Amino acid sequence: MHIMTRIASACLVALSCQAAIAAEKVTLGVAIPTATHGFTAGVVWWANQAKEELEAANPTLKIIIKTAASTPEQANQLQDMLVVNKINALVIFPIESASLTQPVSQLKRKGVYVTVVDRGLTNPNAQDAYVAGDNVAFGRLPAEYLAQRLVGKGNIVVLRGMPSTIDNERVDAFNAEMRKHPGVHILDTKYGNWNRDDAFKVMQDYLTRFKQIDAVWAADDDMAIGVLKAIGQAKRTDVKEVFGGAGAKAAVRKIIDGDKLVQANVSYSPKFIYDAIKMTASARLKGQALPAQTIVPSVLITRANARQFYFPNSPY
């Protein structure tokens, strides 16, 4: 009888521990850039969609979303979420890679489970998981397309994004592919900061300095808007193609309508923030970990398949 009592007591303790584990609250911080342009507006929208859906379905889950306009602001928000909100999981879309690596690493060392989205950190040990689009394909596909469009000969200018690991991956892949086509010359490469106003100024400079530009790789649909504006104001007719990126609905609409300059794009949806939040929350509620890396494929968008990538009700 004494032995049975001890067994029963042990079972009750075990069941109590399991119940405590199952009921343990997950407080998930989400750190993302402020909606300064179309793509980040999509990121913010999808993050809030995830919060609304997941909190409604999981009473032990709390999601705290913080948006930041600068790297220092985002770093400060991380500390606030740790100290004030007491988060035990984090999904972060870093504004910059290098300067956010140490602040994120500090949270991980204090026991916070970290999922990094899109812009990877310079030290992978600062994160538990990484979720992103296929940035290599994001650079390679435009290079393949433009080289074919120019029949292997012509002048290209490039507008890259902001200093980050994903921008490096994209540009390196673009350049690697272009080296296979020696007749295509890259006249210059400058940062447009994924911003239409900055891209407008960069393109104005290119148009002033170069008399013959056959194509532009803008590497982002917001930058492509600035590029198109500059070309229009300069009344230049030498440019045959402006290739942006990320499949914004306005860009895809141009492809569907047969726009003269915008005839192709590459997919890279801001919805991956939603997917990253959902995967992280689900894993942490079960006490599990995500795969070290999850890559969402990027696809070349042309008039043949554009309607599959056109979502008129989306914010981006």
Q: Give yes or no: residues 165 and 104 share one domain.
A: no
pLDDT of residue 303: 97
Q: Give yes or no: residues 164 and 218 share one domain.
A: yes
Q: Give yes or no: residues 200 and 243 share one domain.
A: yes
Q: Give yes or no: residues 241 and 141 share one domain.
A: yes
How far, in Å, CA of 185 to CA of 153, rounded?
8
In which region does residue 247 sit, left (phi positive, over 0), alpha (psi from -120 to 50) or beta (all else)? left
pLDDT of residue 2: 45
pLDDT of residue 21: 42
pLDDT of residue 316: 83
pLDDT in tens, 6-30: 433 444 333 333 333 444 799 999 9
For residue 310, being part of any structural domain is answered with: no
In which domain, by residue range, is 61 found? Answer: 25-133+270-296
pLDDT of residue 4: 39
For residue 313, being part of any structural domain is answered with: no
Cβ neighbourhood burial of 160 (10 Å; 0-12, 13-18, 19+): buried
pLDDT in tens, 259-288: 999 999 999 988 889 999 999 999 999 999
pLDDT in tens, 145-199: 999 999 999 999 999 999 888 899 999 999 999 999 999 999 999 999 999 999 9
CATH of the domain at 224: 3.40.50.2300
Q: Give yes or no: residues 29 and 97 share one domain.
A: yes
Q: Give yes or no: residues 193 and 207 share one domain.
A: yes
pLDDT in tens, 163-175: 888 899 999 999 9
pLDDT of residue 294: 93
Quote the pTM value.
0.72
Q: Give yes or no: residues 192 and 212 share one domain.
A: yes
Q: Give yes or no: residues 143 and 46 share one domain.
A: no
